[in-house]
Protein backbone atom coordinates (compact mmCIF):
# COMPACT_ATOMS: atom_id res chain seq x y z
CA UNK A 1 0.00 0.00 0.00
CA UNK A 2 1.42 3.34 -1.04
CA UNK A 3 0.61 6.39 1.02
CA UNK A 4 0.66 9.76 -0.77
CA UNK A 5 1.64 12.72 1.38
CA UNK A 6 1.23 16.15 -0.24
CA UNK A 7 4.30 18.26 0.47
CA UNK A 8 4.05 21.42 -1.62
CA UNK A 9 1.34 23.24 -3.59
CA UNK A 10 2.13 26.48 -5.39
CA UNK A 11 -1.18 28.39 -5.56
CA UNK A 12 -0.36 30.35 -8.72
CA UNK A 13 1.27 27.78 -11.01
CA UNK A 14 -0.41 24.69 -9.55
CA UNK A 15 2.86 22.79 -9.15
CA UNK A 16 2.28 20.07 -6.57
CA UNK A 17 4.71 17.61 -5.03
CA UNK A 18 3.83 14.35 -3.25
CA UNK A 19 5.96 11.92 -1.29
CA UNK A 20 4.82 8.34 -1.89
CA UNK A 21 5.91 5.68 0.60
CA UNK A 22 5.05 2.01 0.58
CA UNK A 23 4.03 0.94 4.07
CA UNK A 24 3.29 -2.82 4.04
CA UNK A 25 1.12 -2.83 7.16
CA UNK A 26 -0.69 0.39 6.24
CA UNK A 27 -0.09 1.89 9.69
CA UNK A 28 1.83 5.10 10.28
CA UNK A 29 5.03 4.77 12.25
CA UNK A 30 5.94 1.47 10.63
CA UNK A 31 9.01 1.13 8.43
CA UNK A 32 8.50 1.88 4.74
CA UNK A 33 9.83 -0.37 2.00
CA UNK A 34 10.04 1.89 -1.06
CA UNK A 35 9.57 5.58 -1.73
CA UNK A 36 9.49 8.15 -4.51
CA UNK A 37 8.63 11.77 -5.21
CA UNK A 38 5.85 12.64 -7.67
CA UNK A 39 5.61 16.10 -9.28
CA UNK A 40 2.69 17.68 -11.16
CA UNK A 41 3.91 20.63 -13.27
CA UNK A 42 0.74 22.78 -13.43
CA UNK A 43 -2.97 22.76 -12.58
CA UNK A 44 -4.23 20.82 -15.63
CA UNK A 45 -1.26 18.50 -16.09
CA UNK A 46 -2.05 14.77 -16.27
CA UNK A 47 1.60 13.65 -16.45
CA UNK A 48 3.46 12.63 -13.31
CA UNK A 49 7.20 13.13 -13.07
CA UNK A 50 8.71 10.39 -10.91
CA UNK A 51 11.85 11.35 -9.00
CA UNK A 52 14.12 9.50 -6.59
CA UNK A 53 12.33 6.17 -7.08
CA UNK A 54 13.79 3.63 -4.71
CA UNK A 55 13.29 -0.14 -4.41
CA UNK A 56 10.43 -0.57 -6.89
CA UNK A 57 11.64 -3.94 -8.10
CA UNK A 58 8.58 -6.17 -8.26
CA UNK A 59 5.41 -6.32 -10.31
CA UNK A 60 3.23 -6.06 -7.20
CA UNK A 61 4.90 -2.79 -6.18
CA UNK A 62 4.55 -1.43 -9.72
CA UNK A 63 0.83 -2.25 -9.76
CA UNK A 64 0.31 -0.68 -6.33
CA UNK A 65 2.15 2.45 -7.50
CA UNK A 66 0.06 2.57 -10.66
CA UNK A 67 -3.19 2.38 -8.70
CA UNK A 68 -2.00 5.16 -6.40
CA UNK A 69 -1.17 7.35 -9.40
CA UNK A 70 -4.65 6.64 -10.80
CA UNK A 71 -6.10 7.78 -7.48
CA UNK A 72 -4.13 11.03 -7.84
CA UNK A 73 -5.75 11.39 -11.33
CA UNK A 74 -2.65 10.99 -13.47
CA UNK A 75 -2.86 9.42 -16.93
CA UNK A 76 0.85 9.13 -17.75
CA UNK A 77 4.06 8.99 -15.76
CA UNK A 78 7.66 9.43 -16.76
CA UNK A 79 11.06 9.06 -15.15
CA UNK A 80 14.59 9.79 -16.24
CA UNK A 81 17.47 7.42 -15.58
CA UNK A 82 20.99 7.78 -16.92
CA UNK A 83 19.84 10.42 -19.39
CA UNK A 84 17.01 8.34 -20.86
CA UNK A 85 13.34 9.07 -20.39
CA UNK A 86 11.03 6.13 -19.69
CA UNK A 87 7.28 6.66 -20.05
CA UNK A 88 4.58 4.67 -18.28
CA UNK A 89 0.88 4.54 -19.03
CA UNK A 90 -1.13 4.84 -15.82
CA UNK A 91 -4.76 4.97 -16.92
pLDDT in tens, 46-87: 999 999 987 778 888 889 899 999 999 999 999 998 899 999
Distance, in Å, from the CA atom of 7 to the CA atom of 16, rounded to the nearest integer, reads: 8
Which pLDDT tens digit goes with each residue over 8-42?
999 999 999 999 998 888 777 788 888 899 999 99
Amino acid sequence: MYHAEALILHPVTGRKVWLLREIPTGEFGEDWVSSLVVVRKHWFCTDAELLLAESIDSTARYRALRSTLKTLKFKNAWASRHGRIKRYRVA
